[in-house]
Chain A
Amino acid sequence: MSTVTDTATRATAPGAGGSAVHRLLRRWPVGLFVLLFLLPYCALEVPVLLDGPVGSAGSLQLLATCLLFGALATGYDLLLGRTGLLSFGHALYFAAGSYATNTMMQEAGLPFGLSVVLGLVFGVVLAVLLGSVSLRVTGIGFSMVTLAFAQAGSIVVARDPGGFTGGEEGRAVAAGFLPSSLVGIDNTANLYWITLAFLGLTLAVVHLTTHSPTGRVWEGIKENERRVEVLGLRPYAYKLVAFTVAGGLAALGGIVHLLLTGGSTPHTTSSEFTLSLLVMVVLGGSGTRWGPMLGGILYTWADHRLGDVANSAAVADLPAVLRVPLSQPLFLLGALFVIVVNVLPGGLAALPGRIREARAARRGAGKDARDAPAPDAPAPPDADTDTDTDTKERHTP
């Protein structure tokens, strides 16, 4: 449903170019958001994409998971694509939100709302503390330190101190600790809306912060940290802000994940978890507005659905050479990722631009090239003439 409207709007846009259409086009995120909001009321069957009707609990659960990871990837890109920080420890803050809230509720016996707030605060404080330490080193050293901290978190969770984390089993939230409106299959729509709200919040936070003065400094840091220093700014403080905001968003995502899955799992502390976020971001298009979200949604969907495809009869009948790779979503995603990194820098978000370019090139390469202003127009014409004169001088000594 949503896709149909979306394509229709897009199709009319480039040709018409009228201001009304243009305005509509600029509002498409709002329209899409409304559509997403209404999905739980939709009884449509989408055969390949989803198992049951869109509004069914199973489909909503998958959709919510997709949206959650879309949001997480968007938050992670605040570091990678906006500030140029390659963190290998983002999972830590996600897991911190989840486990802290879980522990507050079940061990400290605090009410749900307070637990959520404290879980978020814990994640943010952890991000401030570890960020302020990690950011003292730059480049690959930063990546390593974040990886080390995350690994430490992973080990702690696996050791199950005081029985808080449940070790390798993870820890489910027992009935009665969560509000009844957030428990059970009948209430999946509520969880879906919470996830959607989290996605909206993440997109808004990322959009607002990157368009703030701080965001412009982040951009400067990403391009050339030394130049920012020369301007008399302290990159460290700005990077710490980015790290904290991203960490806070991840912690909140962990809390949403806790609600959505009804518990905390140690998988969310692993370095693979961070790496999968990295893959989502790069797949979708790092540093773009919608790319990370798109990558997160597609990755999560593929991860879930490819597993089902693998178990289908069509695949089971294939020879082993084809069946084995096809039955492993992570293999396909990993391979796809390598290909995207190689042939599509900028990720999926860069695809429309690429296609437009290719089309323009086919329409008449010579004409377009001459008409289009050179993006790197090197020199004013008079300066060029200078050089020409010089050349002539030299050739007629």
Chain B
Amino acid sequence: MSPGRTARTVPTARPAEGGPLLAVRGLRVLIGGRHILHGVDLDVAAQGVTALLGRNGAGKTTTVRGVLGLVPRTGSVLLDGEETVGLATHTLVRRGIGYAPEDRGVFAGLTVAENLRLAERGDGEPDYALVHELFPELLTRARQAAGTLSGGQQQMVAIGRTLLNGNRLIIADEPTKGLAPKVVTEVTSVLERAAEAVPVLLVEQNLAMVRRLATHCAVLADGRTAHQGPAAALLGDPEATRRLLGVGRAPSPAIPPTTADDAAGAGRSDRTEADL
């Protein structure tokens, strides 16, 4: 069944303009003999913020990791019309993707400067001016071990790394999770500014933030795409919001619940699956 659908929906040559920047079709992820994703379809718009929503365990983080090839996946992922399934993660990322993972992926034993330096790709001048302008703290704390930073500061490192290169797409997985309200506001405004230049795929539980930033949105449920469309249309419809997201009323812009997301996404790296 999946080959048929893939054949039907995958465009052979999509012009970059007008179409989505990233087109995910029939993405399936199988971990430990269990399907986590059953065929996710997702378009990331070429401008602005596309929000990926869904309840805990719906497969948001796995979708992101699947797109990046961090988990074994099948299906089709087109970046600017080019197929990326089959590419190694590092090759795909070098085509212009900045990724701030759910757990921030900061190297605790490395300094802030080293964390940023790792994101340099050697194929263009890294834009430290931008990163330090947005997050002056990263300059003053450059020689501090990243593990000693606060959660908010670590998130700045994670987002800073995505801004260092001239990326075509930024993927931020729950960037405000577990942060204090003041930091949430700061991160939100940085992403808002980043999105003026680079399209952003934002996984988020904080609907207030989604309301403020997102132009498009997709909703996952049980490892499938349950809805896609303009963000305003979904969030303006309380009935749809409740049905798809399980949110009864518009939430206060407080900290979202910090429950664990997908079982598959919780593992920070393949290291956790290794039993040796």
For the A-B complex with A143-B276, A378-B39, A390-B41 known, give 12 more contacts whose Cβ atoms are closer than 8 Å: A376-B33, A379-B35, A383-B222, A384-B38, A386-B226, A387-B224, A387-B225, A388-B5, A391-B225, A393-B228, A394-B228, A397-B229
In the assembled complex, B275 has its CB within 8 A of some CB on chain A: yes
* Chain A proximity mask over B243-276: 1 for CB below 8 Å, otherwise 0: 0000000000000000000000000000000011
In the assembled complex, A139 has its CB within 8 A of some CB on chain B: yes
Q: Are B275 and A139 in contact (CB under 8 A)?
A: yes
Main SS of chain B's interface residues? strand
Task: Please give, as numbers and ranges, the residues of chain B lying within 8 Å of A390 by CB-CB distance.
Answer: 41, 224-228
CB nearest to A225 among chain B residues = B275
**Alpha-carbon separation in the docked complex, A384 to B38 (Å):** 9
Known contacts A378-B28, A390-B228, A397-B229; is A384 also within 8 Å of B39 by CB?
Answer: yes
Q: Are B41 and A394 in contact (CB under 8 A)?
A: yes
Q: Are B41 and A391 in contact (CB under 8 A)?
A: yes
Q: State which size class the interface on A falls in.
A: 20 to 34
**Alpha-carbon separation in the docked complex, A390 to B41 (Å):** 9
Q: Are A378 and B9 in contact (CB under 8 A)?
A: no
In the assembled complex, B173 has its CB within 8 A of some CB on chain A: no
* Chain B proximity mask over A82-93: 1 for CB below 8 Å, otherwise 0: 001010000000
In the assembled complex, A360 has its CB within 8 A of some CB on chain B: no
Main SS of chain A's interface residues? helix
Chain B residues near A (Cβ < 8 Å): 1, 5, 9, 28, 30, 32-33, 35, 38-39, 41, 43, 222, 224-229, 275-276
CB nearest to B28 among chain A residues = A378
A367-397 contacts to B (CB < 8 Å): 376, 378-379, 383-384, 386-388, 390-391, 393-394, 397
Task: For B275, give its contact among A84, A379, A386 (CB under 8 Å).
Answer: A84
- 18 residue pairs from A and B, CB less than 8 Å apart: A139-B276, A140-B276, A376-B30, A378-B28, A378-B38, A379-B39, A379-B224, A383-B38, A383-B224, A384-B1, A386-B224, A387-B41, A387-B225, A390-B41, A390-B224, A391-B5, A391-B9, A397-B229
Task: Please give, as numbers and ranges, the residues of chain B lying within 8 Å of A379 by CB-CB distance.
Answer: 35, 38-39, 224
**Alpha-carbon separation in the docked complex, A383 to B38 (Å):** 10
